[in-house]
Amino acid sequence: MDSRTCDPATPAPFPGPRREDTLPASATAAVKIVIVGGFGVGKTTLVGSVSEIRPLTTEETMTRAAIGIDDIAGVERKTTTTVAMDFGRISIDERLILYLFGTPGQERFWFLWNGLFDGALGAVVLVDTRRLEVSFDVIGHLEDRGVPFVVAVNAFPDSPVHPVHELRAALDLTEDVPVFDCDARDRASCRDALMTLMRHLHSLATMTPEHP
């Protein structure tokens, strides 16, 4: 994973104009995907980077009222937080459209997950290697709900780099769960993460009893 010199909380400029908000006439399938992770791991940045429409965000300025409630250790410079969801859209090809729903990271807003996960085909879990512990409960919730997921390790300037097998062991992941690097500021990297999830979902759908 490459070290970065700019703040990953700020999306890179979008290459060219975003598409119109209307769906292409050729679209025949729409899939709901959720982007999950602990507080401050880059969910809003990912949705904003990859969405072909202007993303809907529900970020609010953090106030002194959150002191003692929200754990901001490791992300002390963060001044806003998602209080409901992020929403974006990306066309994978002329027929397949992904609707992206970013979940709030703070545990006090997790009650909103129930609605956001209804009808979701799968999830991308964003992980910050500086604060792996914030991912444990997130992954546990996905496993309890039976939602298939992949794990994208977001690139922060001072993130420690670990081999995939160590990350898999630390997060208690089975061998079939894809784990890979991602830069939430980069549209191509985010699109690759979504494609990894789609390939994983396809693999699960075509799995036979003889090849578990």
How do residues 18-27 score in pLDDT, each as one tens digit? Answer: 444 555 555 5
Structure tokens belonging to residue 91: 């066309």
Check pLDDT > 50 for residue 63. Answer: no
Check pLDDT > 60 for residue 174. Answer: yes
Specify the higher pLDDT residue, 33 or 95.
33
Looking at residue 56, its pLDDT comes to 81
Instruction: Give the CATH H-level superfamily of domain 29-205.
Output: P-loop containing nucleotide triphosphate hydrolases (3.40.50.300)
**Strand, helix or coil for residue 53:** coil
Q: Which of 164, 137, 121, 129 is nearest to 35 (CA)?
A: 121
pTM over 0.85: no
- The helix-helix angle for 187-205 and 43-50 (nearest 10°) equals 100
> What is the C-alpha radius of gyration for the chain, rounded to an integer number of angstroms?
17
